[in-house]
Amino acid sequence: MEKQGRYVDVKTQDGTVLLSLFLPDKGIVLKDRLYEARGNKQETGKKYGGNGGKGNNSESMTYPQKRLLFRLMAQQGFEGDAGNAELLKLFQADNLTDVGKGEASKMIERLLQEAKEDN
């Protein structure tokens, strides 16, 4: 039985699909093709990335947390590799997969607060 719904693709100017949205009758399912193209798998309800994190029981930050952090970096003028380098410096980490969910949440709160104070 095929699901009923609608598909929406977000494409670059050259036609490369970056994001596909399937809008079913109930709920929304997101599939990020750019993230998938980098060799990662996206599964609903599960964390993205490795099981690194600082501390033995810490899970790595989620993909949505990582996206938001990069968006916040872009608002500060750090895009792409510069944003990644700035986040590594802020977290004092060698790799973003080493950053736990809790640490990412605290950094997001901090950056949002700083942005609010700047405005």
- pLDDT tens for each residue of 100-114: 999 999 999 999 998
Asked if residue 93 lies in contact with residue 53, where contact means CB atoms within 8 angstroms, the answer is no
Reported as a single tens digit per residue, the pLDDT across 27-72 is: 544 555 544 445 554 443 433 344 444 443 468 999 999 999 999 9
Other C-beta atoms lying within 10 Å of the C-beta of residue 62: 16
107 against 23, higher pLDDT:
107
- 27 or 8, which is more confident? 8
CA distance 38 to 95: 16
For the chain, the domains span 5-37, 63-118
Its pTM stands at 0.53
Q: Which residues pair with 17 in a beta bridge?
A: 11
**Band (10; pLDDT cuts 50, 70, 90):** confident
With beta carbons less than 8 A apart as the criterion, state whether 48 and 90 touch.
no
**CA–CA separation, 12 and 18 (whole Å):** 7
pLDDT, residue 87, reads 94
Partners of residue 60 on adjacent β-strands? 100
pLDDT of residue 59: 86
